[in-house]
Amino acid sequence: MDMTMESCRKFVEVLASNEPAPGGGGAAALVGAIGTALGNMVGSLTVGKKKYADVEEEIIALKAKCDALQKDLLDQVEADEINFVPLAKAYGIPKDDPNRDTVMEEATIIACSTPVKIMELCCEAMEAIAVFAAKGSRLAVSDAGCGAVCVKAALQAASLNVFINTKTLKNREVAEEMNAKCLGMLDKYCAMADEIFETVKAGFFK
């Protein structure tokens, strides 16, 4: 079931239940989409304003990109559920089954794929939010800061859904490669989010 088609209340209700999905990955995707939309709102409030005419073309293009990112992130809610199913089934294979390790390994890599994708989308969103925060309407700059905070949270949450699975991989080369990629995204884009937040916050105390 595509939980993004349900109400916010229903999503949270199911998230709090013992249902296997949505879980941390699906929640991260939703939060990432919300953060991206907050940045995008700054763009919407910038376009058409004479004061920002010199950046209008750039903002319009960025808004189109964020429209796509929002959709992609929401799509990952269902994708995370679908890609977790093979792993959930694999855990049910008897431990004495000679194929168990191979099936578990393949299913674990599949389960990692969606949170990695969520992280990649969040990085793109953060780049866009940085521009909205710097060039967008000053009347809505707080929303850019809020967007950065939300996307950072989504990025961090998605990473934990990778790391819990890479820890169990037998193929340590694949695991470490995936870990390094995710740690690199965390280092760069969490720092970017913090910079956006601090810059926006500082602007209120001048």
Cis before 20? omega within 30: no
**What tokens does 169 get?**
């991989």
Cβ(74)–Cβ(29) under 8 Å?
Answer: yes
* Residue 49 in domain: yes
In whole angstroms, give the CA distance from residue 147 to residue 133.
Answer: 10
Cβ(27)–Cβ(90) under 8 Å?
Answer: no
In whole angstroms, give the CA distance from residue 119 to residue 113.
Answer: 10
Res 1: pLDDT = 65
Whole-model pTM? 0.95
Res 165: pLDDT = 96
Res 5: pLDDT = 85
DSSP state of 22: S
Interval 109-154: pLDDT, tens: 999 999 999 999 999 999 999 999 999 999 999 999 999 999 999 9
* Residue 99 in domain: yes
Count Cβ atoms within 10 A of the Cβ of residue 86 and give its class: 0-12 exposed, 13-18 middle, 19 or more buried.
Answer: middle
* Residue 13 in domain: no
* Residue 87 in domain: yes
Range of the domain at 135: 24-203
Cβ(126)–Cβ(149) under 8 Å?
Answer: no
Tell me which residues of the chain have a pLDDT lower than 50: none
* Domain harbouring 123, CATH code: 1.20.120.680
Res 85: pLDDT = 87
Res 3: pLDDT = 86
Res 29: pLDDT = 98
**What tokens does 134 get?**
């710097």
Res 53: pLDDT = 97
Backbone angles phi, psi at 127, to 5 degrees: -60, -45
Cβ(155)–Cβ(183) under 8 Å?
Answer: no
Q: How far is CA 140 from CA 9, 44, 143, 164, in A?
A: 27, 10, 6, 37
How long, in residues, is the chain? 206
Number of domains in the chain: 1
Backbone angles phi, psi at 45, to 5 degrees: -85, -5
* Residue 6 in domain: no
* Residue 115 in domain: yes
Res 2: pLDDT = 81
* Residue 69 in domain: yes
Res 183: pLDDT = 98
Cβ(197)–Cβ(149) under 8 Å?
Answer: yes
